[in-house]
Amino acid sequence: METEPGIKAPSETLPSYQERQLVEQVLSKDRKATAEFVSFCADSVHSFVRKRLTPRVELVEDLMQEILLAAWQSLPKFRGDASLRAWILGIARHKTDDYYRRRLREADITEEGGSPVDPAVEPLLDRLLDAAAGQDRGERTLNLLPEAYTLALIWRYRDEKSVREMAELSGKTEKAMERLLARARENFRKEWNHAQS
């Protein structure tokens, strides 16, 4: 099954013939099949989108609606090479990328200033990773950062985009993107330490 980096799909899947049947019925505008389709994909899409829009969770519903409508419009192109859920998550990824691109284009990111500050981070990160509730706390820390920093960190480290891709997609230079990431990491560390003290 095709998977997106960092996405955990729920374990229950449909056999491929049932997926094709569901797709055909949704395309014929069978309302019952459409309800089944929403039930089938909403949880995965919600979990994916929510973790990428944090802390702007008020935007989740609009983006989910956009994703499901785009999925329905693209269903005639569904070939069954990947599972239906993975295929829809691919659409979700494109839509969240669009959102990141728009937001980072609008963000005031410059190349100005001194060298990006990245102090000896390895020992710090080792400590972060050792923490029992490290990821939960990481999520809370992300929520405290300015939006551009949160988006940059999630795009880079959760979605595993390269700095070059991020720069190209958001219309910024690589240097500006590196500076943004360095400031984002620094702010993350400060917030993390602040919460600990």
3-class DSSP assignment, residue 107: coil
- Listed residue (44, 64, 56, 49) closest to 142, CA to CA: 56
- Is the CB of 106 or the CB of 160 nearer to another protein? 160
Task: At 54, list the tokens.
Answer: 């944090």
CA distances from 26 to 22, 29, 38, 90, 95 (A): 6, 5, 10, 19, 21
| Helix (H), strand (E) at residue 22 | helix 16-27
Q: Is 168 in the site for another protein (CB under 8 A)?
A: no
Q: Which part of the chain contacts another protein (CB under 8 A), choosing from 63-71, 86-94, 102-110, 164-172? A: 63-71
Binding mask 74-113 for another protein (x = CB under 8 A): ----------------------------------------
Binds another protein (CB under 8 A): choice among 2, 16, 59, 65: 65
Q: C-beta of 35: minimal distance to another protein in Å?
A: 4
**Minimum gap (Å) between residue 101 Cβ and another protein:** 19
- Stretch binding another protein (CB under 8 A), from 12-20, 37-45, 81-89, 164-172: 37-45
3-state secondary structure of 121: coil
Per rule CB under 8 A, count of chain residues that contact another protein: 53
Residues near 42 by beta carbon (within 8 Å), at least 6 away in sequence: 64, 68
Nearer to another protein, 63 or 169 (CB): 63
